[in-house]
A and B are shown apart, each in its own frame.
Chain A
Amino acid sequence: MTVAVTKLRVEDKLFQNRYLVDQGRPHIKVRPHEHPSANLLALTRICPAKCYELNDKGQVEIAADGCMECGTCRVLCEASGDITWNYPRGGFGVLFKFG
């Protein structure tokens, strides 16, 4: 299958967007774990903002700064308790200029 012709960095895509980050108040948290569940692991690939990454101990971590608040990770991982999900405080988070 055709892979992106140019090497793709999501960071470059997110760079176009406007965010008002609520410093020190992440709206999504990952429950501490030894081994990530399959869904949590999938998020390292399918989160459209690449907020989820695997650390060198094989655990999934989140840096929610580029989050577009789509809710994909909530739908997949909230019920099992793998993550807790809230909206950022009013006015904070992603600010689409076009949407």
Chain B
Amino acid sequence: MSGEKFDAIVIGAGMAGNAAAYTMASRGLKVLQLERGEYPGSKNVQGAIMYANMLEKIIPNFRDDAPLERHLVEQRFWMMDDTSHVGIQYRSDDFNESTPERYTIIRAQFDRWFSRKVREAGATVLCETTATELAQEGGKVIGVRTDRTGDVILADTVVLAEGANGLLGARAGLRQTPTSESVALAVKEIHFLPEDVIDQRFGLHGNEGCVIEAAGTISRGMAGLAFLYTNKESISLGIGCLVSDFAATCESPYELLEAFKNHPSIKHLIADSEVKEYAAHLIPEGGYKAIPALFGDGWVVVGDAAQLNNAVHREGSNLAMTSGRIAGEAIFEVKSRGGRMTKRNLALYKTMLDDSFVIKDLRKYKDMPALLHTNSRNFFMTYPKLMSEASKNFMRVDGTPKIENERATTAAFIKARSRWGLVSDAVRLALAWR
């Protein structure tokens, strides 16, 4: 590889890196992609819901051969207390369309497929290779060093797609290491069950899938969320909370996961399953305000490494794919105009990204992380308990007059949060959501 120079080196073969490498290679650029795992996906963890629209923009006919598990027809949101849950459920036969808009996937399989497409498009992909350092000259990134050789591999641009825990950009001083308030730690297990058992337990047919997202006392007062996603022959489930909250409470993530699995609302859904893997990963949660500089002389950063992750909607892979694609398009555009990969020219990436849903969505929720994080006990302990209490009051038929039940519910809310507290929480939530 010595002496060769690439149009672009892409660090990482996750969602963002594959999108960038594919976009550039399929337009004829000379691309080298480095991945530290034995195969693409071997280091990656996701829930995982994959949104079709954003992949379609990169590989329009992906449904022909991509490894997809189930397409989603039903979504449940649960507020959980220790023994019960209150939920909303949305199911529609409209999702049984010929080109469904979201699927569950298994990342280790999906990333391998995506990487094959990248290779077919003409990129050189080197696995088992960790990029160890960005080489710079006069403030401009000119290439990378790897743990294979000490030599610098040269490129006009380096695309940093190194994920939430990316070291390179931070070590080169291009962005900060995430703080414990801006990342969540998620732990996840995959439980295998026969396909027909999953169909039966969740009321599904064929390739239909169902997802459950849950908040409440399961995160023990920390800002966090649990999930359960149906795959074809397995169920992915996990829970994630802010690292700063974990550090403050010293709650152990696997005990949290175990308690979630043993919750009466969940236990029967995974009964008799065989656990085949236990995984952990960080999720960027800082939102719009945590986005670092996105480009500079000879480099751009995409996906989780750039905190492009919408924690409110549990979307990340689609933002990663989209930012990777847009970075690739911008680099191609600069190149075809005969321009150099200067900071000034690469600003095109940011302009294009600002114009996409990625930045528009993140900007919409810019105040959400701060609100949830400073109010976590109310949102994750008090309200779920109150909701459960209210529902119980509403459901129970035990001879208590309805008016008394209603008064009890109102009194419980006011006792827990005070009238002022309730109003101020509601207003602040509405403002952050706006």
Residues of chain A touching chain B, judged by Cβ–Cβ distance below 8 Å, are: 1-6, 8, 10, 13-14, 16-17, 20, 38-39, 42, 45-46, 48-50, 68-72, 74-76, 78-79, 85-91, 93-99
Asked if B254 is an interface residue, CB under 8 A from chain A, the answer is yes
Please state if A90 and B185 are interface contacts (CB–CB under 8 Å): no
**A95 neighbours in B (Cβ, 8 Å):** 37-38, 42
**A89 neighbours in B (Cβ, 8 Å):** 130, 147
Please state if A4 and B262 are interface contacts (CB–CB under 8 Å): yes
Q: How many chain-B residues does the 8 Å CB contact rule pick out? A: 59
Please state if B130 and A76 are interface contacts (CB–CB under 8 Å): no
Cross-chain pairs A/B with CB under 8 angstroms, 21 sampled: A4-B259, A10-B254, A13-B254, A16-B275, A20-B38, A46-B247, A71-B164, A72-B243, A72-B246, A75-B179, A78-B177, A87-B36, A90-B127, A90-B129, A90-B130, A91-B128, A95-B38, A96-B44, A98-B106, A98-B234, A99-B111
Instruction: Select B277's contact among A16, A46, A90, beta carbons within 8 Å.
Output: A16
Please state if B252 and A72 are interface contacts (CB–CB under 8 Å): no
User: In the complex the two chains form, what is the Cα distance from A92 to B108 in whole Å?
Assistant: 16
Residues in B218-241 with C-beta less than 8 Å from chain A: 220, 234, 236
Asked if B72 is an interface residue, CB under 8 A from chain A, the answer is no
CB distance from A26 to the nearest CB of B (A): 15
Closest-by-CB residue of B relative to A43 is: B247
Asked if B357 is an interface residue, CB under 8 A from chain A, the answer is no
Instruction: Select A5's contact among B45, B179, B262, beta carbons within 8 Å.
Output: B262
Asked if B409 is an interface residue, CB under 8 A from chain A, the answer is no
Known: A13-B278, A16-B275, A99-B279. A1 touches B250 (CB 8 A): no
Known: A2-B82, A72-B246, A74-B165. A17 touches B278 (CB 8 A): yes
Residues in B93-109 with C-beta less than 8 Å from chain A: 106-109
Asked if B369 is an interface residue, CB under 8 A from chain A, the answer is no
Please state if A96 and B279 are interface contacts (CB–CB under 8 Å): yes
**A39 neighbours in B (Cβ, 8 Å):** 247
User: In the complex the two chains form, what is the Cα distance from A38 to B185 in whole Å?
Assistant: 18
**A10 neighbours in B (Cβ, 8 Å):** 254
Known: A79-B177, A90-B129, A98-B106. A70 touches B277 (CB 8 A): no
**B130 neighbours in A (Cβ, 8 Å):** 87-90
CB distance from B54 to the nearest CB of A (A): 19
Please state if A46 and B180 are interface contacts (CB–CB under 8 Å): no
User: In the complex the two chains form, what is the Cα distance from A75 to B181 in whole Å?
Assistant: 10
